[in-house]
Structure 1
Amino acid sequence: MGGDERTTFPEAAVMRSCTSEFVARLTARNRLPLDYSVASLRLVDLVVDGLRRDQPQRNRVAGTLLGLGAYTGEVIVRRAGGTWVDFDAAQRELFRQAVGVRMPDGRVWNPLGKVVNRFESGAEESVQRLYLLLHGRTAQWKAVCG
């Protein structure tokens, strides 16, 4: 992910490194505490809300939205035991993304798309709430975020 606001992400095998690069650039410029914690997902929602507030065209912030979606996915991978996966053709069509996260129970999640949905629809779409939907994570979320 360069400064060109790229609108696609590479394959699952390199998601972690791309996400790390995005986070390093974003935190260096804005001093955001993106530390891959569950609690930091609230900050992702707030950043997307800030992008929405200025009402830009989605294509102007597409790279940032995808970076925030990748960050969300990486939190799920690190904190909930998910794995980055390349979507098959049917999943790509359904999710409109090339990669997602598969949980140990086999369910597949679309964190990149969730961030785009937050941008397009507002507060009813939340990466913070997405984490609550992960199997067995409600109690942990309440303990971390009160």
Structure 2
Amino acid sequence: MTTWISTTATATATAAPGTRPSAAARPVRWAADAVSALREGARLHLDYSAQSLWRVDRTIEGIRREEAPYAAVETVLRGFGAYAGEVIVRATGGEWWTSGGDHWVRTPDGRLWDPIDEARRCWTGDGSLRLLCREATARRS
């Protein structure tokens, strides 16, 4: 993992100012798809604020109660996780990182967060995107 981090850090450091690293392309699209689907299907407005993650957690809870099979909700959960990651990126100035098909958010303090996995944990009843965001955006002393 060290090689991956230093290679990615070098690539990010040499990117043109104001551009996002290529690792952000897929999660940003997944997040936008989730926002659009909730706006059109459930009439929920998501504004990339930390407060909006409460609605996402409640939506995941509702899906869980319906007992849909994981295969049927996997893409939706990925979108919700990517949305939470984008909330964290925007709130902290963090960035998306990727390796082996997995996507994480790295906050400026160097911590790595896995909001996509946290969305899966929410679906099993053992996670919260709202609490993940709260922890990721809390200032460390």
Which position in structure 2 is the counterpart of 1:128? Answer: 130
Supply the distance in 2 between the matched residues of 1:80 and 1:43 (Cα, whole angstroms): 21
1:32 aligns with 2:36: no
1:54-93 residue pairs with structure 2 within 5 A? 54-87=66-99
Task: State, as a whole percentage, how many aligned pairs show the same letter.
Answer: 37
Return structure 1 stretches of 4+ with deviation > 2 angstroms: 135-138
1:59 & 1:18 partners in 2: Cα distance?
A: 17
- Deviation of 1:22 (Å): 3.0
Farther off after superposition, 46-55 or 78-87: 78-87
Match of 1:94 in 2: none
Match of 2:119 in 1: 115
Q: Which residue identity is paired with 1:131?
A: C
CA–CA distance in structure 1, aligned partners of residues 54 and 115 of structure 2: 14
The alpha carbon displacement at 1:137 in A equals 5.0
- 1:53-87 CA distances to partner (integer Å, 9 max, x unpaired)? 01111111101111100111010011122211113
Q: Measure, in 2, the Cα distance between the counterparts of 1:21 and 1:135.
A: 24
The answer to whether structure 1 residue 13 and structure 2 residue 37 are counterparts is no
Which structure 2 residue ranges, 5 or more long, are not aligned?
1-21
Q: Which residue of 2 aligns with 1:143?
A: none
Contact 1:81 1:103 in 2 (8 A): yes
Residues 57 and 128 in structure 2, CA contact (< 8 A), matched pair in contact too: yes
Note if contact 1:131-1:137 (Cα within 8 Å) is conserved in structure 2: no
Distance 1:50 1:75 in 2: 21
What SS is found at the alignment partner of 1:134?
helix
Q: Does the 8 Å CA contact 2:61/2:123 hold for their aligned counterparts? A: yes
Aligned length, in residue pairs: 118
Supply the RMSD in Å over aligned alpha carbons. 1.9
Which has more radius of gyration? 2
Q: Which runs of 5+ in 1 are unaligned?
A: 1-10, 90-96, 139-146
